[in-house]
Amino acid sequence: MNKIYPNYSEAEKAIGATFKFLRESKGFSQEEAAGDEISSPQLSNFENGKTILVTNHFIALLRNINVDMFEFQNAYNQYLRNKDILLFSVKLSDAVMERDISKLKLFSKNLEKLLESDPHNKTLKLDSIRIKSVLSFVDKTCVITKNEQSFLISYLFNLKEWGMYDIRLLGTCAQFIDLIKLAELTNRMIDPSQINIELYHVKHAVVQCVLNIINIFVEQKMFEPARRLILYLENSEIHEYFMFDKLTLIYNRANYSYKRGDSDALEIMEQCLKVLEFCGCSKTATQVSDELKNLEKE
């Protein structure tokens, strides 16, 4: 008699299929991947969508094939051709740099359709707010409503632990948050008691988020919170691998000094521009060049 297996959803079956793809791409056999954790037949059933593994077994199997959760999540979403447009952060950033309003509006429209089909989905609501914030950089008519701001701020203040999603959400939407509340939320995000604060990916995301918030405080002449965050990053010892982040910190620190009355700081900002041009970062260099021209007109 044939064994009857549960009828799992496409998303559930994709977990095993994605694992199989990664296992084979790494050159591991089923026996090597299963190790002492489960049997090879159990792994075969999992990869073929017949069964689902409990969490501790799944994490152990990922470790057996040298894959971390970030890699798996990315592969899983690509396998499903996930419609969560916010996974494509690089494409969104490029669209902003290129001032491609039509592309960003298309992203926003696709997200609105998802929200219409599931209007009470908290994550989709937050994603909608985030994409509006991104769009506002190139289309000033796009704004986040008061209700959306309240929803966003309530979500962030209720967090006990900050993950990658939350850090990126704050960094993207910071411009729409009251400055006093923004300072409090930033302090909560960088609280050293956070469980994941020292993880490689999380720490990098925090640095990028704080750099953006420093810029907001400086532009609004909120110099004391900007100074504290600059000091925080200076003491964080940004790894040399992240040269762009280190350069952005130097630029933000010089911008802070310039806005406080140090005219010599403008020369440091110009040197940062030369580094960007030398490295072929044309989009960022153009943006910085425009900022420097505006500063000189003030």
d(CA 225, CA 218): 9
Q: Which of the four pLDDT bands, split at 50, 70 and 90, describes residue 96? A: low
> Within a domain: residue 88?
no
In a domain, 172, yes or no: yes
For 229-244, write each residue's pLDDT tens digit. Answer: 999 999 998 888 899 9
Q: Is residue 113 part of a domain?
A: no
pTM of this structure: 0.79
Over the stretch 270-295, which tens digit does the pLDDT of each residue have? Answer: 999 999 999 999 989 999 999 999 98
Closest C-alpha to 171, from 231, 101, 229, 122: 229
Question: What is the rounded average pLDDT of the residues 142-162?
Answer: 93
What percent of the chain has a predicted confidence (pLDDT) above 70? 92
In order, the DSSP letters of 202-219 are HHHHHHHHHHHHHHHHHH
The answer as to whether 136 is a domain residue is no
Decide if 240 is inside a domain.
Answer: yes
List C-alpha distances in Å: 289 to 93, 213, 227, 285, 292. 18, 20, 24, 6, 5
Residues 153, 277, single domain; the answer is yes
Same-domain check for residues 150 and 71: no
DSSP code at position 199: S
Tokens for 60? 């152990």
> Domain for residue 97, yes or no?
no
Strand, helix or coil at 29? coil
Our count of domains for the chain comes to 2
Has residue 90 been placed in a domain?
no
**Structural domain boundaries enclosing 31:** 8-78
Length of the chain: 298
